[in-house]
């Protein structure tokens, strides 16, 4: 026989019967089969024996003085420590209701007296196998629960660390926005005084434009950092309304003229945004499209930035394109991530926080933005916005 059966034969069986002759006969045969055997002459002693040491299976007589087998089984099944022990009733009672009661109180099997020993052994082995499988299943479930608990703890720890990193990033952006503005204003003020006092000095005249560009770039970074912090920490303060797309694009185009490297903007005639409303906050969406237009201008080699629109039943797709330069391959996948551009792009410069700010704003209103390189050299930023309630 296999190893499993050997393990079952080494199991410990408790016999509870008030007839010593029955106990002696069954006990002897079980021991010959390799089982360990314990005995009890009544129900109370049987319960005490179980509490002292848990058996693997119980053979239980029904009619016993004081406490019958049914009551013993009820008490076993009411105790979490003993309720899983299989109980096989052996009785001379053959009334159907007695058999029903045996199963109702928690018995797993019923053997009528007089019985054949081979039948008893077969049932014992069957229920020991079932019990063994139940234990293995319980062990596997416990292992699975431990694994799930461990993974849950790991995920919780990872989430905690990510939260700390996100909070640190937000605090850093807030520090830039608030704490650096005052000292920078002092530096800019002193620099302007020096430039004014030396405005006739030929060596200084050329510095005015450089100073203005640097000052405007720095203040834009501070403004973008503050807005980015607001979007990530408390984005729910911004309400989503129905905003006219043509107004947003016209305002963004007008704002673009404030940038020294701005290029003309052309809205392609295939589709006009007039009469189309999108979901979002007008001022924030103007900011997002201004940032995307300004970024596209940096990739232009001198030509205009084009805008093409395409409407679907539930959204509108706005493609902003420029010809001339492309996004480096190692930056393309994470183009809209904060701090993803760790160094200026050749012939393009430092993009600052404009792209991530635009992406966060558009995502805030259930939209999306993607970047791609075009052939011949160029870039396209594709923005998808949901149609507003008043859209036509």
Distance CA(374)–CA(326), nearest Å, equals 7
Report, as an integer, the average pLDDT of 13-41.
90
Confidence grade of residue 9 (pLDDT, cut at 50, 70, 90): very low
pLDDT tens for 74-128 read 999 999 999 999 999 988 776 778 788 899 999 999 988 777 888 888 989 999 9
pLDDT at residue 4 is higher than 70: no
Predicted confidence at residue 174, as pLDDT, reads: 66
pLDDT tens for 309-333 read 988 888 999 999 999 999 988 888 8
Do residues 105 and 62 touch, judged by C-beta distance below 8 A? no
**Cα 244 to chain centroid, rounded:** 36
Predicted confidence at residue 211, as pLDDT, reads: 78
Specify the fold of 3-138.
Rossmann fold (3.40.50)
Predicted confidence at residue 6, as pLDDT, reads: 41
Q: What's the length of the chain?
A: 392
Distance CA(358)–CA(198), nearest Å, equals 40
pTM equals: 0.52
Do residues 249 and 273 touch, judged by C-beta distance below 8 A? yes
Report, as an integer, the average pLDDT of 162-189.
70
Report, as an integer, the average pLDDT of 231-256.
81
Q: Which CATH number fits domain 239-386: 3.30.70.20, 1.10.1380.10, 3.30.565.10, 3.30.70.940?
A: 3.30.565.10
Predicted confidence at residue 88, as pLDDT, reads: 93
A 10 A CB-CB count for 177 gives: 19
Of residues 138 and 196, which shows the higher confidence score?
Answer: 138
Of residues 298 and 392, which shows the higher confidence score?
Answer: 298
Confidence grade of residue 285 (pLDDT, cut at 50, 70, 90): very high
Report, as an integer, the average pLDDT of 239-243.
81
Predicted confidence at residue 339, as pLDDT, reads: 66
- Domains of the chain: which residue ranges? 3-138, 180-234, 239-386
> CA nearest 367: which of 252, 278, 273, 250?
278
Do residues 297 and 337 touch, judged by C-beta distance below 8 A? no
> CA nearest 246: which of 227, 231, 263, 265?
265
Q: End-to-end CA distance of the chain, in Å?
A: 81
Backbone phi, then psi, for 258, in 5-degree steps?
-75, -10
Predicted confidence at residue 57, as pLDDT, reads: 95
Of residues 388 and 246, which shows the higher confidence score?
Answer: 246
Report, as an integer, the average pLDDT of 243-261.
86
> CA nearest 10: which of 24, 31, 39, 28?
31
Of residues 295 and 171, which shows the higher confidence score?
Answer: 295
Do residues 358 and 338 touch, judged by C-beta distance below 8 A? no
Predicted confidence at residue 58, as pLDDT, reads: 95
Select, from the ranges 197-201, 334-338, 339-343, the one with the highest average predicted confidence (pLDDT).
Answer: 334-338
> CA nearest 223: which of 176, 274, 273, 169?
176
Of residues 354 and 320, which shows the higher confidence score?
Answer: 320
Confidence grade of residue 296 (pLDDT, cut at 50, 70, 90): very high
Q: Cα separations (Å) of 160 from 152, 170, 236?
A: 12, 15, 22
> CA nearest 322: which of 369, 385, 270, 263?
263
Share of the chain above pLDDT 90, in %: 33
Q: How many CA atoms lie within 13 A of 148 on its CB side?
A: 6
Q: Which of 137-146, 196-205, 356-365 has the lowest mean pLDDT?
A: 196-205
Of residues 380 and 180, which shows the higher confidence score?
Answer: 380
Distance CA(119)–CA(300), nearest Å, equals 91
Report, as an integer, the average pLDDT of 63-73.
91
Confidence grade of residue 17 (pLDDT, cut at 50, 70, 90): very high
pLDDT at residue 177 is higher than 50: yes
Share of the chain above pLDDT 70, in %: 89
pLDDT at residue 343 is higher than 80: no
User: For all residues of the chain together, what is the average pLDDT?
Assistant: 83
3-state secondary structure the chain: CCHHHHHHHCCEEEEECCCHHHHHHHHHHHHHCCCEEEEECCHHHHHHHHHHCCCCEEEEECCCCCCCHHHHHHHHHCCCCCCCCCEEEEECCCCHHHHHHHHHCCCCEEEECCCCHHHHHHHHHHHHHHHHHHHHHHHHHHHHHHHHHHHHHHHHHHHHHHHHHHHHHHHHHHHHHHHCHHHHHHHHHHHHHHHHHCCCCHHHHCHHHHHHHHHHHHHHHHHHHHHHHHHHHHHHHCCCEEEEHHHHHHHHHHHHCCCCCCCCEEECCCCCCCCCEEEECHHHHHHHHHHHHHHHHHHECCCCEEEEEEECCCEEEEEEEEEECCCCHHHHCCCCCCCCCCCCECCCECCCCHHHHHHHHHHHCCCEEEEEEECCCEEEEEEEEEECCCCC
Of residues 209 and 379, which shows the higher confidence score?
Answer: 379
Confidence grade of residue 249 (pLDDT, cut at 50, 70, 90): very high
């Amino acid at each position: 026989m296999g190893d499993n059966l050997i393990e079952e034969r080494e199991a410990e069986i408790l016999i509870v019967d008030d007839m010593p002759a029955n106990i002696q006969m069954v006990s002897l045969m079980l021991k010959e089969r390799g089982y360990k055997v314990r005995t009890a002459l009544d129900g109370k002693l049987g319960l005490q024996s179980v509490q002292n040491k848990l058996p693997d299976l119980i053979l239980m007589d029904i009619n016993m003085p004081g406490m019958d087998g049914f009551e013993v089984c009820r008490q076993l099944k009411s105790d979490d420590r003993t309720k899983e022990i299989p109980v096989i009733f052996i009785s001379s009672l053959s009334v159907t209701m007695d058999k029903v009661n045996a199963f109702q109180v928690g018995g797993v099997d019923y053997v009528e007296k007089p019985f054949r020993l081979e039948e008893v052994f077969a049932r014992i082995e069957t229920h020991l196998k079932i019990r063994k499988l139940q234990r293995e299943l319980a062990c596997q479930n416990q292992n699975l629960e431990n694994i799930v608990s461990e993974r849950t703890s790991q995920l919780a720890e990872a989430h905690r660390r990510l939260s700390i990193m996100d909070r640190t990033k937000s605090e850093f952006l807030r520090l830039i926005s608030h704490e650096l503005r005052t000292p920078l204003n002092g530096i800019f003020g002193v620099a302007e005084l020096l430039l004014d006092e030396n405005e006739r000095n030929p060596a200084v005249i050329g510095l005015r434009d450089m100073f203005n560009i640097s000052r405007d770039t720095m203040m834009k970074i501070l403004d973008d950092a503050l807005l980015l912090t607001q979007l990530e920490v408390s984005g729910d303060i911004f309400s989503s309304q129905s905003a006219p797309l043509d107004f947003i694009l016209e305002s963004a185009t007008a704002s673009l003229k404030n940038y020294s490297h701005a290029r003309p903007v052309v809205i392609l005639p295939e589709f006009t945004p007039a009469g189309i409303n999108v979901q979002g906050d007008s001022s924030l969406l103007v900011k997002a499209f201004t940032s995307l237009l300004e970024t596209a201008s940096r990739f232009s080699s001198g030509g205009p930035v084009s805008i093409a629109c395409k409407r679907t039943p539930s959204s509108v797709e706005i493609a902003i394109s420029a010809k001339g330069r492309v996004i480096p391959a190692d930056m393309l996948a994470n183009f809209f991530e904060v701090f993803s551009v760790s160094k200026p792009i050749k012939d393009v410069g430092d993009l600052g926080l404009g792209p991530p700010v635009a992406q966060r704003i558009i995502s805030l209103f259930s939209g999306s933005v993607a970047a791609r390189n075009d052939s011949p050299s160029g870039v396209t930023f594709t923005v998808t916005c949901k149609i507003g309630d008043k859209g036509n």
